Structure 1
Amino acid sequence: MIDLWSFTEQTGYAPGTDLVGFDVEATDGKIGSVDEETSEVGAAHIVVDTGFWIFGKHVLLPAGTIHRIDLQERKIHAAKTKEEIRNAPEYDKDKHRDDAAYRVEIGQYYEDNNERGV
């Protein structure tokens, strides 16, 4: 089982890299761009502004859902489909940093999808 809240070595993430503004690609196409990110130990994630794709919704992607980061092209490749990301729990800007139960809910959603092989 992977740690959803940490960047893996395979991503190419270098501590201190500012990912804000990077494009984000699901396995089946672009979903938006990074609006905010944190590399905080045990809570690393990005917040993606999906723009008009899903009506301006923001989604939180734990660092463990990121497959690869292309620093030259400023692109992040998520290991999730558009559908998985679209169906993720609603992003809550007031809870995502300090509410452990909210992070558990997000983590459980992505872990359940991994177990189903989605």
Structure 2
Amino acid sequence: MLHIMRRIQDLKSFTLHAKDGDVGRLREVYFDDSSWKIRYLVVETGHWLVGRQVLITPEALGAIHEEKWTLQVELTREQIEASPPLSVKQPLSRQQEEEYHRHYSWLPYWRSSLLGYLGWDSENQREKAEDPHLRSSAEVTGYRIEARDGEVGYVEDFVIDEKDWVVRYLEISTHRGWFGKKILLAPTWIEQVDWEDRKVRVELLREVIRSAPEYEEGQLIGRDYEISLYSHYGRNQYWE
């Protein structure tokens, strides 16, 4: 089965459309740094709500209409306008998330149904749930990629699987000595992310990365390409 995958830069070309009108354009996404799932889309509202950005959760998204270049949002403009204000200059706090989900009467993603209805099992679970683990795609863009034997390039973009709204691959721009070749790395292959030093470490040699199947910007990522990619790195395929 072919999943539709798009780079964040490509998604920025689509207009998000509510039930009763346009909302705006994608600015960036917040993803969970443990699961790499997209938790929120940050949307610039343009002339509709001048100078304001709003959050849209993937659960509120509908179909993408290729011919109209629109991404459907199953909310009304009134619901979105009345949502809690957002400041992307600061990290998104758990308090802001609580307010957001309360506004839409949604159960927060970090609570299982058991915790949501029966209360907290322990103080440790409470502390764990209060830690958002959210990262901005705009922040992580530019992080350096370090192999076991040296640096290979930097994060240029993210490839999103629209079926699950998860970061399926990091698009890596390699050093000029490799003729600007671009390659894809799956988050599951990452050994460690140093958030303070802005580095992504992988347990791979530079030559293995250099000889990986090339990724051409905007290409359709089909199953044949993914099979060759996972085979090259000797990794288990996520779709099996």
In structure 1, the partner of 2:215 is: 91
Q: Matches of 2:167 and 2:227 in 1, distance apart? A: 11
Structure (1 or 2) with the larger CA radius of gyration: 2
Residue among 103, 110, 114 paired with 2:233: 110
Structure with the largest fraction of strand: 2
Distance 1:81 1:60 in 2: 15
The residue number in structure 1 matching 2:150 is 29
Partner of 2:196: 72
Correspondence for 1:3: none
**Contact 1:31/1:53, CA 8 A, preserved across alignment:** no
Provide structure 2 residue ranges, at least 5 long, that are not aligned to the other structure.
1-31, 35-132
Coordinate RMSD, CA, aligned: 2.8
Task: Say whether residues 1:54 and 2:178 are aligned partners.
Answer: yes
Q: Which amino acid aligns with 1:70?
A: D
Query: Residue 102 of structure 1 aligns to a residue in which SS?
Result: helix
TM-score (structure 1 length as normaliser): 0.71
Gaps of 5+ in 1: 1-6
CA–CA separation in structure 1 for the residues paired with 2:167 and 2:199: 21
Identity %: 26
List 4+ stretches of structure 1 deviating above 3 A: 14-17, 38-43
2:149 counterpart letter in structure 1: D
TM-score, normalised with respect to structure 2: 0.38
CA distance 1:72–1:39, change in 2 (3 Å): farther
Between 1 and 2, higher relative CO (CA 8 Å, sep ≥ 6) is seen in 1
CA positional deviation for 1:95: 3.2
**Aligned residues between the structures:** 104
